Amino acid sequence: MPLSRSTRVGHYEITAKLGEGGMGEVYLATDSKLQRQVAIKVLPESLAANAERLARFEREARLLAQLNHRNIAAIYGVEETKGVRALVMELVEGPTLADRLREGAVPLQEALTIARQMADALEAAHEKGIMHRDLKPANVKLRPDGVVKVLDFGLAKTAEPAAGSDPNCSSDITVGAATAAGAILGTASYMAPEQARGKSVDKRADIWAFGVVLYEMLTGRQPFEGETISDTLVAVLTREPDLDEVPASARRLVRRCLEKDRTQRLRDIGDAMALVEADSTAAVSPAKAKRYWLWPAVAALLAVAVTVTTWLWLLPPAVVNSITRFYVDAPTGTAFNYTYTGTAISPDGRALVFRVASGTGASSLWLRPLDSLTARPLAGTEGGDFPFWSPDNQSIGFFAAGKLKRVDVGGGTPLTLCDATATDTAMTGASWSRVGIIIFGGADGLRRVAASGGVPVLLARVRGSRQETGHGFPQFLPDGRRFLYFIRSRDLKNQGVYASSLERPQDAVQIHATDRKAIYVPDAGRGSGYLLYTQEQTLLARRFDPDTRRLVGDPSPVTAEVALFPPGFHASFWASESGVLAYRTGASDAPRLTWMSMDGKRQSETGTEDFYTHVRLSPDHTRAAVELADRAGNLDIWIWDFARRVKTRQTFDVKADRYPVWSPDGRQIAFSSARSGVLQVYRKNVDGGGQEEQLTTGLYNKSVSDWSRDGRHLLFVETSQTTSEDIWALPLEGSRQPFAFLKTVFIETNPVFSPDEKWVAFETTESGRPEVYVQQFLEAQNPRGASGGARWQVSNQGGSRPRWRGDGKELFYVGLNNSAIMAAAIRTVGAGIEIDAPRSLFEIPVMPEVRSPYDVVADGRRVLLLERTVSQSTPLVVVMNWQAGLNQAR
């Protein structure tokens, strides 16, 4: 309802109209009691006429009135006069940020000053549980004294559709009730992807909008533009922002704010400005920097400069060794995968290879020349891990599907060098010598093979007398004969980095006692070099003489906060012979053991320092069987008792014991163990009585996956030479002869029985990405593993690791990118089944590297999961000439 001059709303007298928008009209008014000017916003009639929404609005206004922050425009109250409902707010003088942006991009330092105050305002609101949900330049005021004020906190969520055709204004719309499913709230250009899809939103939607506003300030244009609202929303959902125009010092912040997957997005706005490099002025171009020069100061300094220049002219030229740092992000549409193992730098320091997962969920190795802005995938490296370079920089070795392979950087089909199924992936790693020998690690020791391929030979065997449990991370020294490698041991004094040689591998000498890998880097022009290793999360460099095999002098810090894999061995740093260093920062990646209800509400967490890598619930849901790594990094099986809040160890072998599943009566567990050289299936009583029984034999790793409800069969996944991962069934009665349930050229994995044993749910890469299927379980299966049973696809946009509800009427699985728990209803119809369209239950990041990161109670109301605590979007930090920053005392 329009108001005229001199109209009174409560004790406020209207003096002028200031503007109007989707939330109503705004007027200038005078407070007759306090004799101050205020802003009066008259609410839309559609809102004022709805008693329920108006009551909620008033409750929210009272909450917002509690916000007392210098960067938030205050709300004084809600008034009503003759049916007119109005909001009384602080009057903020000065232009809006939208007005300022009409003049073009904002200089970096000015933009960061504005952004810092915006972030402070958002942080204050978020701490009280208040979201803005319509942050945009028009809602940011710039006072003449430099103070920034954010307007309209929390008001966008009560807005109704507004007329108009401007794609930046007319999109302040709501479809249906504000709390209804399918609501679209906010301004199109600033909407987060989840907001544009009408999904529920949280404070991360504000963080997205903050990133868009910051991008617009720094570049003078919006990152997602379209001719219509629909075009703009499509851009938000599908297009990646072009960050080339964003100053380098702010690029990381903008990128973290504009992650489309909100689980990968910056979680807290209070951390935003910490992502901006301290010396942000270095990113300002010379042309822009001139604006800030103060000419009187220039004149005063000129005389000093002449004197200094004359003095410097008389000195000999100095050699400048500058350190250069920059970030390398995952390619557009991908995310880094296996961030502790899937990276390597070429010996000449000119290229990186790293493992990423695409939008389809498939992972492979990508090559990024450091003199290029783009990376490209290496064909045939799907599932590849632990990459390493040839000494001539022309080939890359890697492990995939139980094989050691190599591929030329120029392209072509990878060459399989040898079988590597006996390796323990927690202890792999390889090195390629100048004379064409490759050595690689494993649970049984170090092996060597010719770079052209052949039968691998055990070079150094683990020693039981020293409680060794694996060898890994080998690295040839410059002479191509001697090498360093890591020995894992339960006796921690025997654990660390050792030096040995091809001629006398048994004469290994411990160089450094540590629980992580180390890397040797030569120092050009000197006989010695540096050993890089971690102490806590600090990366240190210490002189190392390869001839005497001794460390010399004191260590020097290189960088802090290197990301570490909690169970040990893996640390996220890599270095080349030429002095190029790459690393990732981050905290411990230990997952939380978390109970969630199916509506996404967190019920409880297990707050321990333990690093779980597998979880399966007992049939009565009172316990969970988990994998747990000890200090030496060895995996054993433990039982977690929820009522007593204690865990009990079940296996004690020095080799890895993994993948426990429960018998239907809860008295036994079946598991896989590497104690016989490769993973075989075992079973044992949970109460400790009786002997552990080995159930399978053979040459290839077998990962047990499920135990049928009738107790008659186990399902396991075997990694074969020719067909990668296949699904097998093991009868526990009669001949106990395993038979192939599904054996094709594709990866079939993570099978689980339906409660009535008639169906098996599993995942396969047959479509090009992991998808979940259900197939009949035929006990008289074709011995060659042909797909004899009927099959139905469950997931439609990628899926993995299915779990059945106890009545068999619903199937759960992990959605694409390991960020959501999905579900689909299933009904038996005659001899077949019908499956409803999958739905997302809740979004939460789970551990992608493990076979069983969650389990579901029989009634389907709760889920126990391993919740990921560290983002996979952290970029690589690349440092050129890092040695220049060391303490050079020798």
Domain at 759, CATH number: 2.120.10.30
**Contact (CB, 8 A) for 684 and 690:** yes
E strand map for 693-819: 693-694, 702-707, 713-720, 724-731, 739-742, 748-753, 759-764, 771-776, 791-793, 799-804, 810-815
Please say which residue of 263, 284, 305 terminates a domain: 284
When pLDDT is averaged across residues 511-524 and rounded to a whole number, the result is: 90
Number of neighbouring beta carbons within 10 Å of residue 150: 25
Whole-angstrom Cα distance, residue 626 to residue 616? Answer: 7
The CATH code of the domain that includes 183 is 1.10.510.10
Whole-angstrom Cα distance, residue 321 to residue 881? Answer: 7
Q: Report the DSSP beta bridge partners of residue 551.
A: 544
DSSP class of residue 846 equals B
Looking at the fold, whether 134 and 215 belong to one and the same domain comes out as: yes
- Is the confidence at residue 372, as pLDDT, over 50? yes
Of 433 and 290, the structure prediction assigns the larger pLDDT to 433
Flag whether 310 is in a domain: no
Predicted pLDDT at 463: 87
Flag whether 803 is in a domain: yes
- The per-residue pLDDT for range 813-861, each reduced to its tens digit, is 998 767 789 999 999 888 889 999 999 998 877 766 678 999 999 999 9
* Residue percentage of the chain with pLDDT more than 70: 82
Number of neighbouring beta carbons within 10 Å of residue 551: 18
Predicted pLDDT at 221: 92
* 12-21, 177-186, 576-585, 779-788: range with lowest mean pLDDT: 177-186
- The per-residue pLDDT for range 542-563, each reduced to its tens digit, is 999 998 899 998 899 999 888 8
- Is the confidence at residue 61, as pLDDT, over 60? yes
* CA 7 to centroid of chain Cα atoms: 56
pTM assigned to the model? 0.53
Flag whether 673 is in a domain: yes
Please say which residue of 91, 113, 141 terminates a domain: 91
Flag whether 398 is in a domain: yes
DSSP class of residue 610 equals -
Contacts of 88 (CB under 8 A, 6+ apart): 10, 12, 29, 38, 39, 40, 75, 76, 77, 78, 79
Looking at the fold, whether 351 and 419 belong to one and the same domain comes out as: yes
Task: Report the amino acid identity of residue 865.
Answer: L
Question: In the numeric block, which tokens belong to residue 750?
Answer: 């993570």
Flag whether 700 is in a domain: yes
What is the average pLDDT value for the chain, to the nearest integer? 82
Predicted pLDDT at 173: 35
Question: In the numeric block, which tokens belong to residue 269?
Answer: 């706005």
Greatest mean pLDDT among 269-278, 306-315, 597-606, 867-876 = 597-606
Looking at the fold, whether 38 and 146 belong to one and the same domain comes out as: no
Of 890 and 218, the structure prediction assigns the larger pLDDT to 218
Please say which residue of 37, 68, 91 terminates a domain: 91
When pLDDT is averaged across residues 762-766 and rounded to a whole number, the result is: 91
Number of neighbouring beta carbons within 10 Å of residue 103: 9
Q: What angle do CA 615, 816, 786 make, to 5 degrees?
A: 80
Task: Report the amino acid identity of residue 76.
Answer: Y
- The per-residue pLDDT for range 272-323, each reduced to its tens digit, is 887 775 334 333 333 333 333 344 444 444 444 444 344 333 444 444 457 8
Looking at the fold, whether 570 and 603 belong to one and the same domain comes out as: no
The CATH code of the domain that includes 9 is 3.30.200.20
Q: Report the DSSP beta bridge partners of residue 419.
A: 403
Looking at the fold, whether 809 and 722 belong to one and the same domain comes out as: yes
Looking at the fold, whether 522 and 649 belong to one and the same domain comes out as: no
Number of domains in the chain: 4
- Residue 125 belongs to domain spanning: 95-284
Looking at the fold, whether 797 and 652 belong to one and the same domain comes out as: yes
- The per-residue pLDDT for range 99-129, each reduced to its tens digit, is 899 989 999 999 999 999 999 999 988 888 8
- Is the confidence at residue 163, as pLDDT, over 70? no
